[in-house]
């Protein structure tokens, strides 16, 4: 590839740059997918030389990337692309170090891997030191605001310096292979898309369970909670991919239009319904993978806090449109649960009339879409038991499409690799528009307001469990149950 691309990463000493961004760029270079003369500027406030920075990057990459993937030749090429630039983000003048480094006739992408509170001042300083032109792209990480009002402020602030077509808002779930595979599954398989509505589907479940806690991020997380940290973005994006109408094409504007339509059709959950439709939970101490872990209020930073912030949320979501009227979506996400897994369950209606008496208790078909770990798709089918003793007895069997082939060296690419590629191409299809973010906030804000108004309780659950018991009640009171329970 011959594109002249300069990528400038602000916050290059942060966790995201170390764990995700630089490993993704190294892997793209290894796969020959970085433009030949792409350059990378790592910007942070530390006073270190490029050489020292490079030895830190090498050490860090070798921790993140498995030995068998490491290639010294690639590293030699990769490190030649990297420059370290020291900038104190509060000092406008220091942004001249960035503009001095930039060259004419190169496409520039600024990646803000910094706390969002710095977005506005970074954009302002870049603009006033001549770093921004009509074609400069900017990448924003979540969270964009913590409610509708503040997200508008962030978007307005960045919008003063960058046009919407050049603002790339990341939701890394959209970069996951299996999330894109939802598009292939839905829109390239007639057998699936002809059965994708309230005539055939009974309900849908979306679960994003994590075993990690708040990972030392108390001061951030306690002002945010799981609804804002995971639900407003990742889970609502998954919901869009599952439930939006077929876009006319895979162009960004077509996909975004369908997602916005879907988000606007979410039935509001106000204070009259919040306690029946939403479960808020917080973990107490418990055991994960055989090891004891502390409760949320004993986490580092929580000293003497009696915060009722949620680390778990489950919501029954209803969609007011023709396709989904009457089909509930049960969605949940939480920290310190018993396993890390993200999955979508499409639970079909049972046959309208059964002529087979001997069948499993739950004889509905289920399509299980596993996003992580062990990416794949399973279809639970009813088939005849192989037996001469019974006349026609049936059981559940599973058709399995496994993307995670444990026998091969093929790894599932990381979300950030895909997102960087689209960024370099300038294609927004896997990035989130301003309107999507604001529509999602609008819906979530009503829940947060209702919690505050109703003083909704936070239900406790032990770390290592499946979440608060009330989350079972949420689905069981409708005569259904969470998949796998
Ligand atoms: C991030 C959240 O956006 O997503 C984290 O801030 C969360 O709290 C993470 O742990 C989960 O991402 P993944 O890809 O591990 O499911």
Nearest alpha carbon, ligand 1 atom 7? 230
* Angle between helix 415-425 and helix 177-187 axes, rounded to 10 deg: 70
DSSP per-residue codes, 42-71: EEES----HHHHHHHHHHHHHHHS-GGG--
Q: What is the pLDDT of residues 413-440, one digit of tens each?
A: 899 999 999 999 999 999 999 999 999 9
Beta strand extents in 118-170 (DSSP E only):
137-140, 167-169
Q: What is the pLDDT of residue 159?
A: 95
Q: What is the pLDDT of residue 30?
A: 96
- C-beta atoms surrounding 58 within 10 Å: 15
Catalytic residues: 234
Q: What is the pLDDT of residues 254-306, one digit of tens each?
A: 999 999 999 999 999 999 999 999 999 999 999 999 999 999 999 999 988 89
Whether the per-residue pLDDT at 156 is higher than 60: the answer is yes
CB 214 within 8 A of CB 311: yes
Q: Does ligand 1 lie within 6 Å of residue 229's CB atom?
A: yes
What superfamily does domain 5-141 belong to in CATH? NAD(P)-binding Rossmann-like Domain (3.40.50.720)
* Angle value at C-alpha 295, between 294 and 297, nearest 5 degrees: 120
For 174-413+433-476, CATH number out of 1.10.8.100, 2.60.40.2580, 3.30.930.10, 3.30.360.10 equals 3.30.360.10
Pinpoint the residues of the chain covered by CATH 3.30.360.10: 174-413+433-476
- C-beta atoms surrounding 357 within 10 Å: 9
Q: Return left, alpha or beta for 374; rule: phi > 0 is left, psi -120 to 50 is alpha, else beta.
A: left
Q: Does ligand 1 lie within 6 Å of residue 343's CB atom?
A: no
Q: What is the pLDDT of residues 367-388, one digit of tens each?
A: 999 998 888 899 999 888 888 8
Q: What is the pLDDT of residues 113-144, one digit of tens each?
A: 998 889 999 999 999 999 999 889 999 999 89
User: What does each C-alpha distance from 480 to 347, 353, 440, 461, 475 come to in angstroms?
Assistant: 10, 20, 27, 21, 6
Q: What is the pLDDT of residues 238-258, one digit of tens each?
A: 999 999 999 999 999 999 999
Pinpoint the residues of the chain covered by CATH 3.40.50.720: 5-141
Given the DSSP bridges, would you call strands 341-348 and 366-372 parallel, antiparallel or unpaired?
antiparallel
SS3 426: coil
Closest ligand 1 atom number to CA of residue 208:
16
Q: What is the pLDDT of residue 183?
A: 94
Percent above pLDDT 90 for the chain: 82
- pTM assigned to the model: 0.95
Q: What is the pLDDT of residue 412?
A: 77
- Residue, of 374 and 447, whose pLDDT is higher: 447
Q: Which stretch, 175-189, 319-333, 353-367, has highest mean pLDDT?
A: 319-333
Whether the per-residue pLDDT at 353 is higher than 90: the answer is no
CB 458 within 8 A of CB 309: yes
Q: Residue 57's pLDDT band (boundaries 50, 70, 90)?
A: very high
Maximum separation of any 2 CA atoms in the chain, in Å: 85
Q: Does ligand 1 lie within 6 Å of residue 299's CB atom?
A: no
Pocket test for ligand 1, best of 21, 234, 332, 334 (most atoms within 8 A of CB): 234
Q: Does ligand 1 lie within 6 Å of residue 210's CB atom?
A: yes
- Looking from the CA of 355 toward its CB, the CA atoms found within 13 Å total 2
Whether the per-residue pLDDT at 407 is higher than 60: the answer is no
Nearest alpha carbon, ligand 1 atom 4? 230
């Amino acid at each position: 590839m011959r594109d002249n691309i300069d990528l400038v990463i602000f916050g290059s000493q942060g966790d995201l740059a170390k764990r995700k961004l630089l490993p993704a760029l190294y892997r793209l270079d290894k796969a020959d997918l970085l433009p030949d003369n792409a350059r990378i500027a790592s910007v942070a406030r530390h006073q270190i030389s490029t050489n020292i920075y490079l030895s830190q990057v090498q050490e860090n990459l070798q921790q993140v990337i498995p030995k068998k993937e490491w290639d010294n030749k690639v590293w030699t090429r990769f490190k030649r692309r990297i420059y370290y630039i020291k900038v104190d983000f509060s000092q406008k003048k220091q942004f001249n170090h960035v503009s001095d480094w930039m060259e004419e006739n190169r496409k520039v992408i600024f990646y803000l891997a910094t706390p969002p509170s710095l977005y506005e001042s970074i954009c302002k300083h870049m603009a006033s030191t001549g770093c921004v032109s009509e074609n400069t792209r900017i990448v924003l990480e979540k969270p964009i605001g913590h409610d509708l009002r503040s997200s508008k402020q962030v978007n307005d602030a960045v919008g003063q310096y960058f046009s919407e077509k050049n603002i790339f808002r990341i939701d890394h779930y959209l970069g996951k292979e299996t999330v894109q595979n939802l598009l292939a599954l839905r829109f390239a398989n007639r057998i699936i898309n002809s059965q994708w509505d309230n005539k055939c589907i009974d309900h849908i479940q979306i679960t994003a369970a994590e075993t990690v806690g708040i990972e030392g991020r108390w001061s951030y997380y306690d002002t945010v909670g799981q609804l804002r940290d995971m639900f407003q973005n990742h889970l609502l994006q998954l919901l869009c991919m599952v439930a939006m109408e077929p876009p006319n094409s895979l162009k960004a504007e077509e996909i975004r239009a369908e997602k916005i339509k879907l988000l606007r059709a979410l039935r509001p959950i106000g204070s009259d319904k919040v306690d029946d439709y939403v479960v808020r939970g917080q973990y107490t101490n418990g055991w994960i993978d055989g090891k004891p872990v502390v409760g949320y209020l004993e986490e580092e930073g929580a000293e003497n806090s009696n915060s009722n912030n949620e680390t778990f949320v489950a919501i029954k979501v209803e969609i007011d449109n023709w396709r989904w009227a009457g089909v509930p979506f049960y969605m949940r996400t939480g920290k310190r649960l018993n396993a890390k897994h993200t999955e979508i369950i499409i639970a079909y209606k049972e046959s309208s009339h059964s002529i087979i008496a001997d069948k499993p208790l739950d004889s509905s078909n289920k399509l299980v879409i596993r996003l992580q770990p062990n990416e794949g798709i399973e279809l639970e089918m009813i088939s005849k038991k192989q037996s001469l003793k019974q006349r026609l007895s049936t059981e559940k069997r599973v058709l399995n499409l496994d993307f995670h082939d444990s026998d091969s060296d093929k790894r599932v690419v990381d979300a950030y690799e895909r997102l960087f590629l689209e960024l370099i191409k300038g294609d927004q299809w896997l990035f989130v528009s301003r309107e999507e973010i604001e529509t999602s906030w609008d819906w979530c804000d009503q829940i947060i307001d209702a919690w505050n108004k109703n003083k909704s309780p936070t239900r406790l659950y032990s770390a290592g469990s499946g979440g608060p018991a009330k989350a079972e009640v949420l689905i069981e009171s409708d005569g259904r149950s969470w998949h796998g329970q």
